[in-house]
Amino acid sequence: MRVRIAIFVVVTIAVFCFFQFWYSYHFFYYEQNQIFLWEWEYVSGYFQRVGGFASLMGDFLTQFYYYLYAGSVILTLCIAMVGVLLYKLLTNLKVSSWVAIALGLSLMVFLTVCHFSKSYKLSSTICILGWLLTFWLVSRIFGVRGCRGTGIVFMLVLLPAYLLFGMPKAVRLQAPDLVLEKDFAVSNEYHFGNYDKVLDIVGSSDGWTRQMMFFYNLVYAHRGELPDHLLDFIPNNLGTFEKIGPETPRLTIINMNELYWALGDMTFTERAAMMTNVFAPENRNVRMIKRLAECNIVSGDSAAAQKYLRILSKTFAYKHWADETQMHLSKGQLPPYLAQKKPFVNHHDTITISDNAHFLMMQLLDANPGNTIALDYILCSTLLLKDIQNFKRDYDRYCMETAKPRLKKLYQEALCIWLAGTNAPQEEWQRYVQRQDVLRRFIEYNNQRGNPRFKDTYWYYYDKAGFALNDK
Amino acid sequence: MINDKEYCAMEGRSVKLKVYGWMIRLSFIIYYLSFSTACSRAPEKVQKIDVLPPVYPDYCDITIPENIAPLNFLLRNDQCEALEVRAGDLTLNARGNEVVFDIDDWKALLSQHAGKEIEVTVTALINGQWIEFKSFGWQIVKDRIDPYLTYRLIEPDYEIWNQIQIQQRCIENFDVNALGHYEQLENRCMNCHTYGSQSPDLSMMYVRGPGGGAILNQNGQLSKLNLKTDDMISGSVYFGFSPSGRYIVFSTNLIIPGFHSLASKRLEVFDSKSDVYVADLKTHTMLRSHLLSDSTKFETFPTFSPDGKYIYYCVADSVALPSDIKNLQYRLARIPFDEATSTIGTQVELWNVGSSVCHPRISPDGRYLLYTVADYGTFPIWHPEADLQLMDLQTGDIDTLAVVNSEKSDTYHSWSSNSRWFVFASKRDDGLYGKPYFCYIDKDGKAHKPFCLPQAHPTFYDNNLKSFNAPELGKGKVPFDVEDVAKAMKQEAIPFK
C-alpha cells in the first residue's frame, strides 16, 4: 500500500513541479480569458446548460490562478484526485490494484498532457473528476461490487451526471509549448510592471519571438530608451504595423491593447480591449474588463467606468482593486498611476477610417508633444522601415519645431543619412547632428561601409539588414 | 406532413428543451426562494426621508402596461441589508438589496390595478437603520404592449463581431428563445429581425457571409432570398414590409467604420454609398427608381407608411467622407408608392427638422412619425446627443420627447401594434450598452417616462456585456427557431430580377 501511495505522491509532485516551474505563466492565460462573478445571478446561469456544474467549478477555481502557486496547486490536486478516484473505483470493481494504479497514473499523465494545450479548460478535468466521483459514490452507497453491478450503477448515474458534468472537451494532444510559455511570461511580467524581469527573460533566452521583442521594446519605451535598443533584434517587432481584424490572433490584440495604453490612445485602448473580449471564449476577458475600467477613468467617462468597476467588485481577485479605485473616485481623485495617464489624453477630435498606428501617434503627439513614448515609437517605426524621409518629417515636426531635439544616437545616425543624402549644407549638419561622437563614427563608417564593426549603428542596419518584412 | 426523421428530430429537440426548461425553472425557484423567504424582517423604528430610492433600473414614476413582467429591481446601495417594498396591496420583504416579485402576485397586482396608479414605497435597512424613501408611482394602463420583443445581442463595438445572437423575449414573463445563434449559424453576422406589421407570421432577418441571405418567414415557412442583384452595392441592410406583406423596401449600404480620436466619442459609422429598392415577393422582381438610387445622394432607412401609399426614408447630399462628416445631414423624405400597380412615384417630399434624421418609423395607426435626430451622420448609436422625436402627421407638430430622451444615445425604435407603445434602445446608464426601454403614448399623444425591459435577476444589466440592438415588438411568438433558420440557410437562395 505504501509503495502505491508513494508512486501517486511522486507523480503528483512531478506534475506540480512541472506546472509550477516550467508552465506557470499559462495559468494567467486561463485566468484572464474568463470572468467569474460571485453572485447568484451569474452562478445560476451555469445551471441553464448541460455540464453546468463542471463549468461552474472549473471557472470558479480558474479565477484563483491569478495568485502565485494557486494554479499549480489547484490543477495538480484536480489531476491527482482523478487518478486516485479512478484507482479507488477500479479496485472497488475488483480490478487488480497494480492494474488500477497503472490506469490511474496513466489518466493523470494523459490529463497533464491535455493541459499543455491552452485551449483545454479546467472544467474538462472537473468533468472527468465529477463522473468518477459519481460512479465511485454510487457504487459505494449501493454497495455494488463486481461487473454485474457496473451496469446498474451506470444506468443510475448517467442522466444526473451528464446534466451536472456534461462531457469533457476533446483536445489535440501536444508537447508542452515552452515558447508560448515564454511569450506569456513576458506579457504577464510586463502587465504586472515587472520590467526588469521582462528584460531578464528576454536576455536569458536562446531564441526570441515577436512577442518577446514587442514587450522588450515596450519596456525600454517606458524608460525612454527605445531608440537605444531598437537594433538589439533584427528584424524587430514594435507592434505598430499590426491591425486588428477578424483574423488577428488574440494575443496580438492583447498586445495592441498594451501598446495603445502605453501610447495613451484611449479610443484604441478601449477598442482593443473590446475586441479581446469579442474573441475570448464566452466573450469574457477579466483583464480587459479591468482595462476598460481604467481607460474610461482616464478618458473621464465615469458612467462607463462604473459599469466595469461594478463587475470587477464581484470577483475575488479584482475586488480589492475595484474597491480601491472606487474609493479614489468617490473622493474626486484618480489612482496615481491613472492620473499619470491623464495628460496624454487626446482632446482634439478627428475621425479616421484606419487604425494606422502612425496616424494615431501623430494625433497623440499633436495633442501632447511631450508624449515621449509616442515620439520614440513613431520615429523608431519609420526607421525600422528605413523610411528616412518620413523620419525626418516627424523629427522636424515633433523635435525641431518644438525646440526639443531628441539627441539619441540612433536618431543622430539616421539624420546623418538624410543630411548626407541631400547634400545638406554645413549649418544643417550643425543644426541636426549635435553629437560629435556620432559625426566622427559616420566619417569612419563611410570609409568602411558595411564593416561589421559598425553593427551597432543605424547606418549598418540601413545598408545591410534585410528589410523588416515581418513588421510590415 | 411530417416524416419520421423530422418527427424524431422534433422529439429529440423537445426532450432537450424540456430538460433545459426544468433546469432554468429550478434555478429561478432557488433564486426566488433565496431572496423572498430567506428574510422577512419587518421594518422597525423607521426614519422617513424625502428622497426617491436609488432603484435600478430606474422604475420611479413610470407608466407600465398591464401585461408587463415583474419589475424586479435593486437598490443601488451596497450597505443595504434588507428591504421592504409596498406596491399597492402587495408587500414584499427581502434580504439584501434586490427585489424579486413572485410572478403570480405581480400579475394579480397589475390586473387589480389596471387603469389606476399604485404607490410604491421602498423601506431599506441601511447600516442598521430602517429608512423609508419617498414613495413613487406606477401608472398601470390597460393599453397592452405587444408581448414579444426581438433583438440582437452583440458587443457594443459593432465593427467586428463574434458569437452574435438574435433572441426573442416574451415581455409578459422572462422566457427567452433564440432565433439566430452563432453556434447553429457558423458564427455568422446576423442583421436584425424585423416584423411585417408586428405580425409573427411575416418577418425577415439577414444572415451574412458566403451562402447567406435574407431569411423570410411567411406563416412559419422559411425561405432564403437573394436580395442582391448585380447592380446593387450590397444586400439589404435596413428594411420594412408593405402593409400587404407583398413588398419589402430596403436599403443597400456600403458601411464604413471610422474612429474618433476623442475617446468619449468612440466610433463613427457612415455610408460611402447607399440606395433604396423595393422587392416584390410575389414576382421576385426588384422595383427601382432613380430618385431612390441617386449617385449624388445617400438614401437609407426606408419604411412603408401603414397605408402603403408612401415610402418614408432618409436622404443626404453626398459629402467627402470622413473629413466632412459633420456636414452629413440626412433629411426626412417620402415618395409615393402604389401597391396595386407596383410603381414608385416620381415626386419626393422633403422635411428638414434641423438635425440629421435616422430611422423613421410610423405608428401603425398612421398618426405619428417617430425618428431619431443627431448632430450629423447616420449611425446614432455612438452619438450621445442622439434623441427621439415624435411628429404628429396630422398637425405636423414635433414633440422633442424631453421626458423620454437621455444624455446618451436614444434610438432604434419600433412601435407596438396598438400605436400606444414603442420600444427603443437607450445607452442612458453607461453610454456603452444599449438596453430596451418602453414608452407609453397616451390618447392625447403625450409621451410618458419610459422604463427598461424587466429581467428575472435585478443584477442582469450590471453583469451583462452585450448591447440589445434594434429591438422590435411583435404581436406573437414567431413560429420558427434557430434550428429552422439553420435549415433554411442550406436552401438555395431565391434570386430576384
Q: What is the pLDDT of residue A147?
A: 58
State mean pLDDT over A66-90. 96
- pLDDT band at residue B39 using 50, 70 and 90 as cut-offs: very low
State mean pLDDT over B53-58. 97
pLDDT at position B1 over 90: no
Taking alpha carbons only, the member of A11, A44, A165 closest to residue B27 is A44
Q: What is the mean pLDDT of chain B?
A: 89
Reported in sequence order, the residue ranges of B281-330 that DSSP labels E, i.e. its strands, are 285-287, 297-304, 310-317
Q: What is the mean pLDDT of chain A?
A: 91
pLDDT at position B34 over 70: no
Q: What is the pLDDT of residue A429?
A: 95
Rounded distance between C-alpha atoms, residue A164 and residue A54, angstroms: 7
CB contacts under 8 A, A 430-449 vs B, are: none
pLDDT at position A129 over 70: yes
List the single best residue of B25, B58, B465, B467 to mutate versus A (max A Cβ within 10 A).
Answer: B465
Contact state of B160 with A275 under an 8 Å Cβ cutoff: yes
pLDDT at position A191 over 90: yes
Peptide bond into B243 cis (omega under 30): no
List the single best residue of A278, A289, A365 to mutate versus B (max B Cβ within 10 A).
Answer: A278
Q: What is the pLDDT of residue B490?
A: 87
pLDDT at position A145 over 70: no
Q: What is the pLDDT of residue B3?
A: 39
Instruction: Enumerate residues 6+ apart whose C-beta is below 8 A from B361.
Output: B303, B369, B370, B371, B413, B414, B415, B422
- pLDDT band at residue A19 using 50, 70 and 90 as cut-offs: very high
Q: What is the pLDDT of residue A469?
A: 36
pLDDT at position B425 over 90: yes
| Three-class secondary structure of residue A73 per DSSP | helix
**Which residues from B are below 8 Å from A267, CB to CB?**
259-263, 265-266
Q: What is the pLDDT of residue A207?
A: 87
Taking alpha carbons only, the member of B389, B405, B470, B388 closest to residue B436 is B470
**Which residues from B are below 8 Å from A345, CB to CB?**
263
State mean pLDDT over B401-417. 96
Rounded distance between C-alpha atoms, residue A242 and residue A369, angstroms: 24
Q: What is the pLDDT of residue B258?
A: 86
**Which residues in B have their CB inside 8 Å of a CB on A?**
19-20, 23-24, 26-28, 30-31, 34, 155-157, 160-163, 256-266, 268, 322-323, 325, 429-433, 457-460, 462-463, 465-466
pLDDT at position B5 over 50: no
H/E element holding A426? helix A426-432
Q: What is the pLDDT of residue B178?
A: 86
Contact state of B262 with A349 under an 8 Å Cβ cutoff: yes
Considering only CB atoms, B23 lies closest to which of A47, A268, A271, namely A47
> How many angstroms away from the CA of B383 is the closest CA of chain A?
14
> How many angstroms away from the CA of A419 is the closest CA of chain B?
34
How much is the pTM?
A: 0.90
Tell me whether A278 touches chain B (CB under 8 Å).
yes
Q: What is the pLDDT of residue B188?
A: 63
pLDDT at position B231 over 70: yes
- pLDDT band at residue B489 using 50, 70 and 90 as cut-offs: confident
pLDDT at position A471 over 50: no
Considering only CB atoms, A301 lies closest to which of B160, B431, B458, namely B431
Considering only CB atoms, A304 lies closest to which of B161, B257, B432, namely B432
- pLDDT band at residue B160 using 50, 70 and 90 as cut-offs: low
Residue B179 CA neighbour count, 13 Å, CB half = 32
- pLDDT band at residue B364 using 50, 70 and 90 as cut-offs: very high
Contact state of A163 with B260 under an 8 Å Cβ cutoff: no
Report domain extents, chain A.
2-165, 178-344, 357-471
Reported in sequence order, the residue ranges of B31-108 that DSSP labels E, i.e. its strands, are 47-48, 55-56, 62-65, 73-75, 80-87, 90-95, 98-99
- pLDDT band at residue A149 using 50, 70 and 90 as cut-offs: low
Contact state of B155 with A284 under an 8 Å Cβ cutoff: no
**Which residues from B are below 8 Å from A371, CB to CB?**
none
Nearest chain B residue to A309 by CA: give it.
Answer: B462
Q: What is the pLDDT of residue B27?
A: 52
Nearest chain A residue to B183 by CA: give it.
Answer: A282
Nearest chain B residue to A301 by CA: give it.
Answer: B264
Cβ contact B459:A39 at 8 Å: yes
pLDDT at position B17 over 60: no
Q: What is the pLDDT of residue B213?
A: 86
Q: What is the pLDDT of residue B319?
A: 92
pLDDT at position A94 over 90: no
Backbone angles phi, psi at A270, to 5 degrees: -65, -40
Percent of chain A with pLDDT over 90: 75
Instruction: Cell 398637425: give the residue.
Output: B395
Dmax over CA atoms of chain B, in Å, equals 76
Side chain identity, residue A261: W
State mean pLDDT over B239-266. 89
> How many angstroms away from the CA of A71 is the closest CA of chain B?
26
Taking alpha carbons only, the member of B479, B470, B478, B464 closest to residue B57 is B464
Max mean pLDDT range (A154-158, A330-334, B363-367): B363-367
Q: What is the pLDDT of residue A61?
A: 97
Rounded distance between C-alpha atoms, residue A59 and residue A36, angstroms: 6
Radius of gyration of chain A (CA): 28
Percent of chain B with pLDDT over 90: 73
Q: What is the pLDDT of residues A209-250, one digit of tens each?
A: 999 999 999 999 999 999 999 999 988 999 998 888 878 888
Contact state of A41 with B162 under an 8 Å Cβ cutoff: no
Q: Which three cell numbers stand for residue B324?
A: 466632412
Q: For the sheet with B387-392, list strands across it.
A: B356-362, B368-374, B387-392, B398-399
State mean pLDDT over B409-433. 96
Considering only CB atoms, A301 lies closest to which of B28, B160, B264, namely B264
Q: What is the pLDDT of residue B35?
A: 47
H/E element holding B336? strand B331-338
CB contacts under 8 A, A 356-395 vs B, are: 360, 363, 367
pLDDT at position A470 over 60: no
Q: What is the pLDDT of residues B70-122, one digit of tens each?
A: 999 999 998 999 999 999 999 999 999 999 999 999 999 999 999 999 999 99
> How many angstroms away from the CA of A182 is the closest CA of chain B?
28
CB contacts under 8 A, A 152-191 vs B, are: 163
Higher-confidence position of A145 and B195 = B195
Reported in sequence order, the residue ranges of A358-460 that DSSP labels E, i.e. its strands, are none
Contact state of A283 with B429 under an 8 Å Cβ cutoff: no
pLDDT at position A417 over 90: yes
Tell me whether A33 touches chain B (CB under 8 Å).
no
Percent of chain B with pLDDT over 70: 88
Angle at which helix A70-92 crosses helix A25-32, to 10 degrees, equals 90
Where does A178-344 sit in CATH, by number? 1.25.40
Tell me whether A343 touches chain B (CB under 8 Å).
no
In order, the DSSP letters of B162-225 are: -S-EEEEEETTS--EEEEEETTTTTT--B---EEETTEEEEEEEEE-STT-EEEEEETTEEEEE
pLDDT at position A170 over 90: no
> How many angstroms away from the CA of B163 is the closest CA of chain A?
8
pLDDT at position A452 over 60: yes
Rounded distance between C-alpha atoms, residue A396 and residue A431, angstroms: 11
DSSP state of A398: I
List the single best residue of A41, A261, A349, A361 to mutate versus B (max B Cβ within 10 A).
Answer: A41
Contact state of B261 with A349 under an 8 Å Cβ cutoff: yes
Q: What is the pLDDT of residue A456?
A: 93
Q: What is the pLDDT of residue A450?
A: 86
Nearest chain B residue to A159 by CA: give it.
Answer: B19
| Three-class secondary structure of residue B470 per DSSP | strand
Side chain identity, residue B322: P
Residue B278 CA neighbour count, 13 Å, CB half = 30
pLDDT at position B49 over 90: yes
State mean pLDDT over A101-114. 96
> How many angstroms away from the CA of A302 is the closest CA of chain B?
8
Beta-bridged to residue B149, according to DSSP, are: B169, B473
Contact state of A353 with B258 under an 8 Å Cβ cutoff: yes
Q: What is the pLDDT of residue B4?
A: 37
**Which residues from B are below 8 Å from A289, CB to CB?**
465
pLDDT at position A349 over 70: yes
- pLDDT band at residue A21 using 50, 70 and 90 as cut-offs: very high
State mean pLDDT over B342-364. 94
Q: What is the pLDDT of residues B117-142, one digit of tens each?
A: 999 999 999 999 999 999 999 999 99
Q: What is the pLDDT of residue B482?
A: 84
Tell me whether A246 touches chain B (CB under 8 Å).
yes
ipTM exceeding cut-off 0.85 for this assembly: yes
Q: What is the pLDDT of residue A362?
A: 92
Instruction: Cell 471610422: give the residue.
Output: B258
Tell me whether A55 touches chain B (CB under 8 Å).
no
**Which residues from B are below 8 Å from A349, CB to CB?**
260-262, 265
Rounded distance between C-alpha atoms, residue A312 and residue A307, angstroms: 9
State mean pLDDT over B366-371. 97
